[in-house]
Amino acid sequence: MIIRRDEFLERGTQGTFLKRLKLVRRQIERGGGAFFRLEDHEVAVIPLTGKVDVKAEGEWGKRKWLDVGGRESVFDELPTIVMLPPCQLVLNAHEPVDVLIASVSGRKKTKALPRLIRPEDLEVVFVGKDSYKRQVRSMQQDDYVLKCGETIHSGPGTWSSWPKHREVGNTERVEEVKFVLLKRVIGWGEDFVEPWTVVVQDGMMHGEEIHEVHKISSGDVIIQPVGRHPIVGSPFTNVYYFWILTGPDELGGLPKKYGKFAGESDYV
């Protein structure tokens, strides 16, 4: 399932068949703000570009982080992220900011703690090789069932989620979402050619078997099936995506370690 850019900006993933995961994007002007009631959710706040003040309050108390973020490009700079237990969340912008808010519901009794994750705290690895080599910036925390991170392709025309991999463990309640940004590589294509990528969806989604191919534009969102879902950029397109996924709570939210299987023969 694909949510196109304008629709995603308007309503996020609301209205889809996702039962637990939620993702919204807010582009906040200087002096603006946003408020969210997420009192049954684990939450992640990820500035894509710009800086934002993050204030949160829950049964665990109150916390505030000022000027979170500061990137000019997701392709060239590592993220800063705030992860939160169930809370009321306020965002305030002193400069224009483009920010994602990801969450997973059913977590009112979570033992997770508020946490600021700086670039130096990330697990950054390169997985795959040749035409499917990519950088994975993992933001996963052991006390959170919400798992998230960023993936950057190594260059135009390259793949991720390839070779195909099998899921490990019980996947009955796995949900996975990808938010995609694309950058046209200078020197490739004409100025009027927009960057694009292709995703193949081959697996089970919402209880149905699907076999589909979609052209993806920058700002689109992909709701992944359980199964195979390789992504390839066009010859003039660099690919970035922010991913969130979760699974059964009794398995720590996820029946696999994201990124572990890539390039490892036990999982491919």
Domain boundaries, the chain: 2-251
Is-contact 175 246, C-beta < 8 A?
yes
CATH of domain 2-251: 2.60.120.10
On the question of pLDDT at 6 being above 60, the answer is yes
188 three-state secondary structure: coil
Residue 101, helix vs strand vs coil: strand
Strand-pairing partners, residue 138, are: 123, 149
Q: Is the pLDDT of residue 42 over 90?
A: yes
> Does the pLDDT at position 212 exceed 90?
no
Window from 24-28, 77-81, 245-249 with minimum mean pLDDT: 245-249
Of 63-67, 103-107, 186-190, the range with the lowest mean pLDDT is: 186-190
The pLDDT score that the predictor gives to residue 180 is: 92
pLDDT in tens, 108-126: 888 889 999 999 998 888 8
Q: What is the pTM of this model?
A: 0.86
* pLDDT at residue 170 greater than cutoff 50: no
pLDDT value of residue 72: 93
